[in-house]
């Protein structure tokens, strides 16, 4: 009788943990939600990336120009250029730990 209760409790704890901050795999999130514009390697040389003028995340100059907080805000709130949304917000899609993991993943692109 104790085993089913323990397993149920463990399962509930895991569900709560996943909802409250265990970041999903950043590479998987990148590939699913970001690579279509920013490129799998972060270079931004996709058709949509070129159209939108996305930055080359491999460039140290770009990496130095933006703080982690600025990147987190862009992911969370989206990006507007001249009043037009050029990147949709992902704050409702990603948890804060997911966003921090994406920023770290973007930082890993730097040459």
pLDDT, one tens digit for every residue, the chain (111 residues): 555 554 444 444 444 444 444 467 999 999 999 999 999 999 999 999 999 999 999 999 999 999 999 999 999 999 998 999 999 999 999 999 999 999 999 999 988
| Residue 7 in domain | no
| Residue 74 in domain | yes
Number of folded domains that form the chain? 1
pTM for the whole structure: 0.76
- Distance from C-alpha of 72 to C-alpha of 77, rounded to nearest angstrom: 8
| Residue 79 in domain | yes
Q: What CATH code is carried by the domain that includes residue 55?
A: 1.10.760.10
| Residue 13 in domain | no
Tell me which residue range forms the domain holding 88. Answer: 24-107
| Residue 40 in domain | yes
| Residue 16 in domain | no
- Distance from C-alpha of 105 to C-alpha of 72, rounded to nearest angstrom: 12
């Amino acid at each position: 009788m104790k085993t089913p209760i323990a397993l149920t409790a463990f399962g509930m704890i895991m569900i709560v943990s996943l909802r409250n901050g265990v970041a999903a795999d950043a590479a998987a999130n990148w590939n699913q939600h970001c690579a279509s514009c920013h490129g799998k390697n972060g270079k931004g040389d996709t058709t949509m990336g070129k159209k939108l003028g996305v930055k080359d995340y491999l460039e140290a100059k770009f990496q130095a120009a933006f703080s982690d907080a600025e990147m987190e805000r862009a992911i969370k709130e989206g990006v507007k250029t001249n009043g037009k949304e050029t990147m949709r917000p992902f704050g409702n899609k990603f948890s804060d730990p997911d966003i921090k993991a994406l920023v770290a993943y973007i930082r890993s692109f730097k040459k």
